[in-house]
A and B are shown apart, each in its own frame.
Chain A
């Protein structure tokens, strides 16, 4: 050991000293929790042990995983998460692309509009969730004189009947629709920012060349803009999937921490399940966290594989 320490030159020690604060923080708040998660997930009687002061059993195994996978509540959470992700990522990406292209095409107010589109990004998502709740809510639901939120009022202008979006007895798909609208709206600013940045770095001469060749607008979009933006699109899709699988706060924002409309189906997600289980079933929470990690990992790998084939750089 002494010899080894002597071999390391002082300059290298200096580098390590500079790195020390960051390394220490990472070790305490990232590396140790990860190791602990692994330990808890595979340590079958962790919760009981904790209650009894750590005296009983220390068997390692995959019982926690079995329980989690077989538990219907977890399956529902997985289903909700998948559904929200699969719906919101394509919708938000396509919308962001269209908005970014439009923003890029207009000269006046571009900065102003850019700021407006970016606002959701710097706003607290729980706060936004509460605003969305108010928009979809029906105050005095079930009484003779209900007061509708703005969305139902707008629907009323077009002659449609008010819809019970989130109140007691509302249907699963109405709930999901509200969540999808909220999540998409919340996800737009980041995507718009990235895609707009990509658009602005595209060489304008490609568009001049397309103009000279009498290219119709739609074809310019599909054959030139989208392929040239493909690296950015791949990036927002991959980060979108990762974010989607970690969806949680939006549901709390709208439905509160019951994660469901009164009398409705549970809208809980993977992360929600993990939070719930953390209370007294740390082993299952850890196992669920690892399952979530594995899913995100696999999906990201698939994403990367596909985008490598489809992007041209």
Chain B
């Protein structure tokens, strides 16, 4: 089921009657989610990603714009009639029902032609339970389950009625680190097996990058960039997206473009053909540094962290806007921990420059804007 959002807008009226400050949670959102894909809505808290999800579910009515499932306009439909499955952030399992009763619940609501007999319902419930591997816990109450198990029950309950769309609100936020890693693989697997178009919301960029077919990066209700995770990472359209994706985070410097060269802290560090002279922000991915004796960029060495396969060099520079400069280089490079300074050459495709006022990307050399759409 393809999902189309068209100029979707959500404005919350002001809570305080005296001030007329409205909150624009989602502003003019337009994008298409292709059939059968796993899409991650990504952004810091308050960026409107959950509101978008709830508008797709029907629990919140958009102030403007339209939502299409396939060719059907579902904007005016209530959640009951949309055929979506939703997994809540804290699961919202009915505490007084067993796992089996919880999973059966949506099936027992089916009416008319869709009505199922008891055996079929049980079969479907067990099928869904097997898919998320909780078929041995069917007679437990939610309070007797771990967070990860509750999460699976919630997914089974959402899947059992074979929804057209599966929505997950911060599906991993209540799980511990190890379980999170495991569960995100599970979500990926379940989505692949069922082929249901799935949208999930997260503020964790790593989570979104690792399992999504497509990520949608949002900020203050406005979509910043949509694309395949690798594309967005390799080719951010503005400084916000560049800073939001990647661990360790990208290193940002105050810089200038002068005579086709990028100048950081008075040093010409890179040729940037095609960029006109102006003040810019230069952002360099940690893996974009190559230590070199006669490197173009000089930084004051703070410490070296050995991580086995890689070495992480922590350094400083007058022009940096992040607290430290962190570069990850191959362990083959031998750098003396006692050295005062460290010099780097830069990989041009790991360096992005942004206009210092609009924070929009300035493309140079072979860099081109990412394809819009998915």
Contacts and interface: CB of A to CB of B under 8 A. Distances in A.
Contact of B85 (A206, A212, A216): A212
A161 interface: no
Nearest to A216: B109
Nearest to A209: B92
Main secondary structure of the interface of A (DSSP, over half): helix
Interface in B75-99: 78-81, 84-86, 88, 90, 92, 94-96
Nearest to A230: B96
Given A205-B90, A219-B109, A212 B95 contact: no
Contacts of A212: 57-59, 79-80, 84-86
A206 B110 CA distance: 18
A66 B298 CA distance: 106
A214 B88 contact: no
A256 interface: no
Interface residues of A, number: 18
Interface string A156-189: 0000000000000000000000000000000000
A203 B79 contact: no
B92 A213 contact: no
A206 B109 contact: no
B116 to A, nearest CB: 14
A200 interface: no
A214 B81 contact: yes
B94 A206 contact: yes
A312 B95 CA distance: 8
Interface string A198-238: 00000101101101111110010001100110100000000
A228 B93 CA distance: 12
Given A214-B106, A214-B109, A209 B86 contact: yes
Contacts of B79: 208, 211-212
A208 B88 contact: yes
Contacts of B10: none
Nearest to B163: A212
B152 interface: no
Contacts of A227: 94, 96
Nearest to A207: B92
B109 A215 contact: yes
A211 B109 contact: no
Contact of B161 (A206, A208, A213, A312): A213
Contacts of A209: 86, 88, 92, 94
Contacts of B68: none
B105 interface: yes
A205 B142 CA distance: 15
A279 B108 CA distance: 63
A224 B102 CA distance: 11
Contact of A312 (B84, B96, B110): B96
Nearest to B83: A214
Contacts of A228: 95-96
A213 B96 contact: no
Interface string A223-255: 110011010000000000000000000000000
A195 B58 CA distance: 29
B128 to A, nearest CB: 13
30 contacts: A203-B92, A205-B92, A206-B92, A206-B94, A208-B79, A208-B88, A208-B92, A209-B86, A209-B92, A209-B94, A211-B78, A211-B79, A212-B58, A212-B79, A212-B84, A212-B85, A213-B161, A214-B109, A215-B80, A216-B109, A216-B111, A219-B108, A219-B109, A223-B105, A228-B95, A228-B96, A230-B96, A312-B95, A312-B96, A312-B141
Given A205-B88, A213-B157, A213-B161, 20 more contacts: A206-B94, A208-B86, A208-B88, A208-B92, A209-B86, A209-B88, A209-B92, A211-B59, A211-B78, A212-B80, A212-B85, A213-B105, A214-B109, A215-B80, A215-B105, A219-B109, A224-B94, A227-B94, A227-B96, A228-B95
